[in-house]
Amino acid sequence: MSREPTKKFIIFTDLDGTLLDYSTYSFESALPTLQMLRERDIPLIICSSKTRREIEYYRKKLGNSHPFISENGGGIFIPRNYFEFTFYIPLFIVEVENNYHVIRLGSKYSDLRAAVEALRREGFKVRGFGDMTVREIAEIANMSTYEAEMAKVRDFDEAFIFEGDEEETQRLLDAIRAKGFNHTRGRFFHILGDSDKGKAVSILIELFKKKFGKIKTVAIGDNPNDIPMLEMVDYPVIVQKPNGTHDPRIDIPNVLKAGGVGPEGWSKAVLALVSQID
């Protein structure tokens, strides 16, 4: 009996609290698994709320040369010549910028900043990264000033903090929607346009299908802003929060709950899935 051809494995991953430790941003415990992925030529696609510059910084540390998705699905960056075919994405313009083909899904950052300023005039106590100094961002996000500088250079998504109870929070989210924007929540609140991680992931999945034929897809996250990404793949995985629990707000069919916090859980899940599917 002939064996069905092996399906190419594609992994999409969040960074903060998932591949990166929540407090130290370390991925040391995942190093052996990352090496295994490189040896097997399994694409690892970063899909994060982080900015392009932040992701490029971590891609270099990770030795990663694959496409990536920035700012909660706002932009897709595909290294030039990564796909050996010409591609067209309906409804979106594919721009060539330096060493990338760039697909913009998100709103202009200037429009998001204007919306934040309008919310503040309406009485909401919101402060976006655009309102903060580099040092302030470094302190609230527990990162170096160098990383905070990269986090402040935004294209498609404004991260912000908000002071208010649950009722005030709901009023804020309603006001964001009334202005024609969407929102999501990870470590910070985010205001963004008609984009999310799932839409960006679905575009790359189609490109990988064209490249490899049959594929199997995995996504790994830890926060509700990962839900759209998790819903797009064959194997959705969530890792534990620092307190050892899985986020109860992530309630989707067939989600796999990794036994471990951050990169430890990430590594266990990847190893188990690769061995199961191979």
CATH number for 58: 3.40.50.1000
Residue segments in the chain with a per-residue pLDDT below the cut of 70: 1-6, 277-278
116 and 87, same domain (yes or no): no
172 and 46, same domain (yes or no): no
* Helix (H/G/I), strand (E/B), else coil: 135: helix
Last residue of a domain, one of 156, 171, 192: 192
Q: Are 265 and 245 in contact (CB under 8 A)?
A: no
Report the C-alpha gap between 102 and 98 in whole angstroms: 10
In a domain, 148, yes or no: yes
**Residue 246 burial (C-beta neighbours within 10 Å; 0-12, 13-18, 19+):** middle
What pLDDT does residue 276 have?
A: 80
Sheet containing strand 8-13, strands side by side: 94-97, 100-104, 75-79, 68-70, 44-47, 8-13, 215-221, 235-240, 256-261
Q: Provide the number of structural domains found in the chain.
A: 2
Other Cβ atoms less than 10 A from the Cβ of 245: the count is 10
What pLDDT does residue 18 have?
A: 95
Last residue of a domain, one of 158, 192, 226: 192
* Helix (H/G/I), strand (E/B), else coil: 109: helix
Last residue of a domain, one of 192, 208, 243: 192
Q: Which of 14, 16, 157, 196 is an active site residue?
A: 14
Q: What is the pLDDT of residues 236-274, one digit of tens each?
A: 999 999 999 999 999 998 999 999 999 999 999 999 999
Report the C-alpha gap between 116 and 128 in whole angstroms: 7
Report the C-alpha gap between 64 and 13 in whole angstroms: 12
* Helix (H/G/I), strand (E/B), else coil: 227: helix
What pLDDT does residue 4 have?
A: 43
Q: Which two tokens stand for residue 131?
A: 């309102």
31 and 97, same domain (yes or no): yes
Report the C-alpha gap between 214 and 42 in whole angstroms: 14
Report the C-alpha gap between 272 and 255 in whole angstroms: 14
Q: Which two tokens stand for residue 75?
A: 């932009």
- Catalytic, 278? Answer no
95 and 204, same domain (yes or no): yes
What pLDDT does residue 152 have?
A: 96
Structural domain boundaries, residue 118:
109-192
